[in-house]
Structure 1
Amino acid sequence: MSIDLVINEICCNFKVLIYIELQTKIAMITEDKVTEIFCMADDFCKFFDAMTTKYALKPAGKRKYHRSSTMSKAEVMLIMILFHDSGYRCFKHFYLEKVCKHLRHLFPNVVSYNRLVELEKEVAVPLTLFIKKVLLGKCTGIRFVDSTPLCVCKNQRIHIHKVFKGIAQRGKCSMGWFFGSKLHLICNEKGELLNFMITPGDVDDRKPLEYKAFIEFIYGKLVGDKGYIGKNLFQRLFVDGIQLITKLKSNMKGALMSVSDRLLLRKRAIIETVNDELKNIAQVEHSRHRCFDNFIVNLLGAIAAYCLFPKKPCINLQRTIDTQLALF
């Protein structure tokens, strides 16, 4: 057997192994799990539509004709969530090859791919509220906060970029300069997301913590990196029942800190792992967006998929929950 034939056989076997691995990853999403997520999304969409019909303002002028889609909002939300948990890198290939062929019995009223892209914009608000009200975890008294950049293009293409013109901004993180947005996250020691916020890339990491809506249900200890150091911010959060814990910069005076707080600072890498899974598994970041609306829906779908992960990064803590803060 010649060397060329051996190389070709090895390459073919390697491709088969990659295909089997991809199919195994896709098969992890069982039909029972798909049905469970759909029931959750469908119940929420029915409640959302009822509240919208009850409290929405009626149009003053002539009502425009609006034809209802054959695919429901819950189905569109479910497809967006399944894509970010499937292992596919291209949404079009996932929809045409996986949903329209292998999951046709679960989605009998499939639409064309172009129509599905149009329907994505209509589920932005329901999907946001579905995450906020159903999928987010509960505060346990220990939380970790961090931000991660979402680049929309390479720095060399900033001047010719048009999709996010006027929205994306230049920012700087530990990895250098970038052009895009920031995703601010708060998670607990179980790896569950407690809240999230999207800002332009030039917004200070401490700015979201000044909004009451971002820390509304947060109490206890909040662990962050050196980017969250601020005397005024510490005092404002302390009044709201939140103790901000950060490392000190090299030019700052030393401060007393309890052993438990030092251990929590060493465990801050848990939220870095959350950011890594959002980017490398849920694909929250890519540079192929064609409009801002679908960028938001793609990001929300990735966050929803992460919230439904069966296994999340966590740290083992055995303690009694106490909302009272102690002065050190």
Structure 2
Amino acid sequence: MDILTVFCEIDDFCNEFEPRFNQMLIGDGKRRRNKPGAMALSEVMTIMVMFHLSGFRNLKTFYNGFVCRYLTREFPQLSSYNRFVERERDALIPLWCLLHLRRGSCTGISFVDATTLKVCQNLRIPRHKVCAGSAGRGKTSVGWFYGFKLHLIINDQGELLSCYLTAGNTDDRQPVSGMVKKARKMFGKLFGDKGYISKALTECLQEGEVQLVTGIKKNMKNKLVNCYDQLLLRKRAIIETVNDQLKNISQIEHSRH
């Protein structure tokens, strides 16, 4: 993706977002400096987005070895790497709001899945401190892990409808109803794997005009499923493709060796 296109879209968003966001902030009565940084917020956000599109494995190499060497014309007021990392905190809420604005629209065919985000190897769990207060131990079909779960709902075109981040020990079914409510006018059928089998969840989604469709386990009684639903259950691999792109191309998962 062209860096100019990315920057223009983010900069237009920041011009609308920052004034409204600053008006909503609640002060503590103390006078504080409000000196703007050398780099604009839109520049920081653009570099963060481009990192996940670049294929680099870590941010430090991308920033010092690529941005500071080859993108000085595009970003004439580049700060040091340490200062850039500090500015990333300012970009967290704007990026989250931009993500929600960029969500797709429901087409009546949706897919739900959860993927693991490991923060360290299992041997390092007792020494891990960065995410000690928020990460959790969970278990998947391939074994135990320590970190988070990313829950996604996408449409049949691979566009994101809703997302949610939880600790690794969270049941996959727990955030689904809330994600459906926060999506843009979600309707139709929601396809998931056998881990989403739940009578309570099915009834809850039906109240919102969403039908949950899953496979059946070996120890369950057979139930009639029309050919159309069976075909779409096989197409559920599209969300696995999205997970793979996020984790192995965009590098949203990183754990030390």
The alignment's TM-score, normalised by the length of structure 1, stands at 0.75
Percent identity of the aligned residues? 49
- Equivalent AA in structure 1 for residue 7 of structure 2: F
**Match runs of 1:1-328 below 5 Å:** 29=1, 33-57=2-26, 59-133=27-101, 135-211=102-178, 213-215=181-183, 217-288=185-256
Cα distance between partner residues in 2 of 1:217 and 1:158: 41
Please tell me whether Structure 1 or Structure 2 has the larger radius of gyration of its CA atoms.
Answer: 1
Contact preservation (8 Å) 2:105, 2:184: no
Aligned residues: 255
- The alpha-carbon deviation at position 35 of structure 1 amounts to 1.1
Structure 1, unmatched stretches of 5+, are 1-28, 289-328
Cα distance between partner residues in 2 of 1:173 and 1:206: 14
- The alpha-carbon deviation at position 216 of structure 1 amounts to 5.3
Q: Indicate the SS of the match to 2:54.
A: coil
Cα distance between partner residues in 2 of 1:214 and 1:230: 20
Contact preservation (8 Å) 1:196, 1:214: no
More strand as a share of residues: 2
Cα distance between partner residues in 2 of 1:254 and 1:215: 32
Cα distance between partner residues in 2 of 1:48 and 1:260: 43
Contact preservation (8 Å) 2:110, 2:153: yes
Over aligned residues, Cα RMSD in angstroms?
Answer: 1.3
Range with bigger deviation, 156-165 or 256-265: 156-165
- The alpha-carbon deviation at position 82 of structure 1 amounts to 0.6
- The alpha-carbon deviation at position 229 of structure 1 amounts to 0.2
Contact preservation (8 Å) 2:186, 2:210: yes
Structure 2, unmatched stretches of 5+, are none
- Equivalent AA in structure 2 for residue 229 of structure 1: I
